[in-house]
Amino acid sequence: MKARNFFTGVPAVDLLVTFFQGRVQRVRSGELDRGASAVEWVIISAVVVAIVGVVAAIINTALSDGANKVGDCIKGASASKTC
């Protein structure tokens, strides 16, 4: 769709009219969808990072507990005690 030329002779008004015509053309063309998809990717990335952080914390806790058990077993090692 071709934009109509609309000039009032007042530079500030002409600038605003031209600006709004450009905005309307962008909305009609679907060009603004690219920004929405970028926001969606940011949200998806944040969720993935949060999930990875939770899994890393769980694994870290499990490894620390296992290491502590092994350390306690080594410290208390004797002929009569088994771990």
Polymer length in residues for the chain: 83
Token duo for residue 52: 């990875």
- Is 83's pLDDT higher than 60? yes
Whether the full predicted model's pTM is greater than 0.85, yes or no, is no
Using the structure block, give the residue that is written with the tokens 């970028």.
38
User: What's the pLDDT band for 24 if we cut at 50, 70, 90?
Assistant: confident
Using the structure block, give the residue that is written with the tokens 């990717």.
41
pLDDT at position 1 is 47
Task: List pLDDT tens digits, range 25-82.
Answer: 877 776 666 666 778 888 999 999 999 999 999 999 999 999 999 888 888 776 555 6
Taking 3-state DSSP, the helix, strand and coil percentages for the chain, each rounded to the nearest 5, stand at: 75, 0, 25
